[in-house]
Amino acid sequence: MSTTFRKKPVEIEAMQTALIDPLVAAKDREEQNRLVARWISNEGGEVVDFGRNFIEIETLEGVMTASPGDWVIRGVQGEFYPCKPDIFAETYEAVA
pLDDT along the chain (96 residues), means of 10: 87 93 83 94 95 92 96 94 96 90
pLDDT of residue 28: 87
The total of other beta-carbon atoms located within 10 Å of residue 48's CB is: 12
| 40 lies in some domain | yes
Quick check: is 52 in a domain?
A: yes
Give the model's pLDDT for residue 24.
77
pLDDT, residue 58, reads 96
Domain that holds residue 33: 13-91
Q: Is residue 3 part of a domain?
A: no
Determine, yes or no, domain membership for 8. no
Q: What local confidence, expressed as pLDDT, does residue 96 receive?
A: 82
- Positive or negative, the CA dihedral 6, 43, 73, 56 is negative
Count of structural domains, the chain? 1
- Note whether residue 31 is domain-resident: yes
Cβ distance 64 to 30 under 8 Å? no
State residue 39's pLDDT score: 97
